[in-house]
């Protein structure tokens, strides 16, 4: 054993690189190494011989393993020192250009929408995400039997047993912000209301939490013609297509009368969506003239004022504009996805400098 110890400790000390060190490890303590073979001979010894040879062999194995570890660390330190001698950095040189963060498509599109409507004179209004039943439904002329008020569609907050107060909900749209804005500002008014909304739905084009932007304009002489012009100008600027054509289809929303779904002309040739051309139509938003009962709920006289309202999904129009196939990916926190679809942090969208630079 002394001969084995001297042989391998000396060889380990003189090893020139990690490859040589690994060869020595295999020769000494590998499955078929000399020390391992010696340990197999313990079964042929008498109990008295094993009591002497066993501890000695274990001590030899531990000593060789310790020498191997120490030499490996020494070789790594030496390699690092050699590398550091050849590497240097001139701290006086200008910094390399690199991307500082990435803007999420939802944030980017929210800024684009805000820039477009700000140019048309719309202010931005915000409100709470947990709303009373009155602001979320009653003030918007949504009756108690409406399907949207069912628990299968709406998230209600928990109420303690015996609590008879009206329930609160996670807002299902940003329309409550319109009511609050009318209460606070009165008429005339021109606002957009972007923000998070919540509905109990989840598939490729729906998530329990998503983003919406709604618009409201109220004055003494506003008509559907004004609504049509605003939406056409928005689509032309947002999708960056001059030849936008919109189609208004009669619909029904409790908070507008008359109501209209808005489609945009498009084509799907070759599996690629192209807006402003083709023979197909794609629904993008809902709109209409504000219902008189909604004006009354907001404290505005419907005999004197009238106005239009519209609403669209920010996530949906982001998918259309930037070719994002699955809405659920917006909320997966996947950095690879964000680097692919994200935007430069310092490029602010503007109508003069460009929306989607």
Class for domain 102-344, per CATH? alpha beta
- Cα angle 211, 183, 151 (rounded to 5 degrees) comes to 45
Write the Ramachandran bin of 49: left for phi over 0, alpha for psi from -120 to 50, otherwise beta: alpha
Residues 192 and 181: beta-carbon distance below 8 Å: no
Q: What is the pLDDT of residue 308?
A: 96
Q: What is the pLDDT of residue 46?
A: 84
Q: What is the pLDDT of residue 243?
A: 81
> For the segment 83-119, what is each residue's pLDDT rounded down to a tens digit?
888 877 777 877 766 666 788 999 999 999 999 999 9
Using CA atoms, how far residue 53 sits from 64, 257, 262, in Å, is: 16, 98, 90
Cα–Cα dist 134/297, whole Å: 10
Q: What is the pLDDT of residue 205?
A: 63
Q: pTM value?
A: 0.67
Residues of the chain with pLDDT under 50: none
Q: What is the pLDDT of residue 17?
A: 85
CA-based Rg of the chain, rounded to a whole angstrom?
36
> For the segment 289-323, what is each residue's pLDDT rounded down to a tens digit?
999 999 999 999 999 999 999 999 999 999 888 88
Residues 177 and 297: beta-carbon distance below 8 Å: no
């Amino acid at each position: 054993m002394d001969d084995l110890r001297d042989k391998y400790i000396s060889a380990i000390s003189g090893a020139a690189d990690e490859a040589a060190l690994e060869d020595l490890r295999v020769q000494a303590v590998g499955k078929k190494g000399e020390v391992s073979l010696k340990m197999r001979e313990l079964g042929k010894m008498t109990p008295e011989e094993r009591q002497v040879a066993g501890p000695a062999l274990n001590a030899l194995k531990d000593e060789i393993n310790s020498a191997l570890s120490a030499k490996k660390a020494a070789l790594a330190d030496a390699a690092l020192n050699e590398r550091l001698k050849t590497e240097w950095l001139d701290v006086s040189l200008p910094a390399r250009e690199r991307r500082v963060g990435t803007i999420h498509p939802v944030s980017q599109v929210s800024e684009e929408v805000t820039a477009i409507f700000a140019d048309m004179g719309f202010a931005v209004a915000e409100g709470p995400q947990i709303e009373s039943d009155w602001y979320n439904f009653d003030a918007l002329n949504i009756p108690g039997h409406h399907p949207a008020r069912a628990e299968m569609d709406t998230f209600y907050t928990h109420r303690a047993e015996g609590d008879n107060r009206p329930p609160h909900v996670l807002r299902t749209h940003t329309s409550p912000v319109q009511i609050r804005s009318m209460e606070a500002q009165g008429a005339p008014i021109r606002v957009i209301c972007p923000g998070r909304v919540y509905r109990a739905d989840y598939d490729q084009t729906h998530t329990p939490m998503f983003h919406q932007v709604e618009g409201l304009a109220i004055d003494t002489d506003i008509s559907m013609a004004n609504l049509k012009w605003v939406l056409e100008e928005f689509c032309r600027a947002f999708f960056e297509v001059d030849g936008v054509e919109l189609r208004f289809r009669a619909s029904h929303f409790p908070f507008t009368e008359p109501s209209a779904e808005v489609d945009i002309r498009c084509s799907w040739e070759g599996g690629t969506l192209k807006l402003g051309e083709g023979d197909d139509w794609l629904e993008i938003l809902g709109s209409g003239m504000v219902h008189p009962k909604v004006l009354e709920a907001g404290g505005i006289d419907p005999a004197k004022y009238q106005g239009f309202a519209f609403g669209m999904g920010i996530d949906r129009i982001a998918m259309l504009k930037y070719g994002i196939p699955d809405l659920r990916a917006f909320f997966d926190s996947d950095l690879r996805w964000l680097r692919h679809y994200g935007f430069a942090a310092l490029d602010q969208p503007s109508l003069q400098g460009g929306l989607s630079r």
